[in-house]
Amino acid sequence: MKRLFFLILPVLIACSCTKPEDPGTLDPEESFLAGNGVFIINEGNYTWGNGSISYFSYDSSIIFNDIFQKMNARPLGDVPNSMTINGDYAYIVVNNSGKIEVVKRNSLKSQATITGLKSPRNVVVIDNSKAYITSLYSDSLTIINLKNNTISGYVNIRRTSESIVLTGKKAFISNWNGGNEVVVVNTDLDKMIDSVEVGKEPESMAIDKKYILWVLCNGGWMRENYAELIGINTQTHEITKKLVFPSKLDSPSCLSINGDGDTLFFLEKGVKRMDIDAAGVPEVSFITEKGHMFYKLGINPVNGDIFVTDAVDYQQNGFVIRYSNKGDSVAGYKAGIIPGSMCFKVQSPSNTE
């Protein structure tokens, strides 16, 4: 949830939109959700309880809106923040409602609701029986038992948490809200084993093909520090690269990586693209905003399609804009209110759903 407390002027939207079909009359296990596509997590307005899920289908090139509500005859909740797929199930983290909705990935039909969470943000699946949940306000990770969808314990990391990525038997967790550290947790022991000091407010992370952890530090929302992009060796936990943005006014966000693990993307006055071996952060945008105001970014891990969202005025329905991996605009689609993070449900052509 972006921390905005002032009125934001609306921007003009110039993109082609496809009218969404009503999925209510279809068999969801056999239709639009069963193929390749991307879920868009619409945050909705804080405390209004109007968060929702949209789905862009590659089969039809149509976006389907408000799917959770239609499939479960109840609202999703207040400020959904992220979504993760594991096998036949998906886990939707609803931040201000303090819960996770467990749904079937090909229908979004509810299977369970995990409650009692303190401002949950992101989820990473450790194995088929365990997941970790980060928290904006708690100083512990929450451990979820995926067999019965209950809280089974906590990992005390002594600081709040945001982004979380997994490699081998280690989870790396960013201390974003006012922090400047990345915490390392042993996932076999459920225990913090190390921490790495980085730049101010590490808000997003990605691991490349060389197993370097890239940490995007936005410098603090008051812009009191320079933003930094930092590379950390995931074996030794040593910083191997530190790239500093040229201006304190720079406010990068949403670090992502392509499926090959060799190219980083992030938002900063458009979409910036960077080779993992680059000597500095890119000066020129790969994709310019052109009348939009980009809010969140996602990269299709199979074909490299680039999706960005535009929250417009943070009151009306926003947009999802799709670009090819070459940066060419493909189409725009109307989503829900404040379209945020994305969750891709795609497989390579050699595999089947």
d(CA 223, CA 249) in angstroms, rounded, equals: 6
pLDDT at 208 over 90: yes
Q: How far is CA 142 from CA 81, 100, 128, 242, in A?
A: 16, 12, 16, 31
Q: Which residues pair with 207 in a beta bridge?
A: 213
pLDDT at 11 over 50: no
Q: Which two tokens stand for residue 161?
A: 């948490």
Query: What DSSP assignment string belongs to 211-279?
Result: -EEEEEE---TT--S--EEEEEETTT--EEEEEE-S-TT---EEEEE-TTS-EEEEESSSEEEEETT-S
Per-residue pLDDT reduced to its tens digit, 125-142: 999 999 999 999 999 999
pLDDT at 17 over 70: no
Q: In what order do the strands lie in the sheet with 239-244?
A: 202-207, 212-217, 228-233, 239-244
Check residues 307 and 18 and name the one with the higher pLDDT: 307
pLDDT band at residue 29, thresholds of 50, 70 and 90? low
pLDDT at 353 over 50: no
Per-residue pLDDT reduced to its tens digit, 184-195: 999 999 999 999
pLDDT at 12 over 70: no
pLDDT of residue 87: 95
Query: What DSSP assignment string belongs to 135-150?
Result: ESS-SEEEEEETTTTE
Residue 181: what residue type? E
> 261's torsion region: left (phi>0), alpha (psi -120 to 50) or beta?
left
pTM for this model (two decimals): 0.91
Q: Which residues pair with 92 in a beta bridge?
A: 83, 101
Per-residue pLDDT reduced to its tens digit, 91-102: 999 999 999 999
Q: How do strand 181-186 and strand 191-197 relate by DSSP bridges? A: antiparallel
Is 274 within 8 Å of 281 (Cβ atoms)?
yes
- In the chain, count of helices (H) and strands (E)? 1, 27
pLDDT of residue 16: 36
pLDDT of residue 99: 98
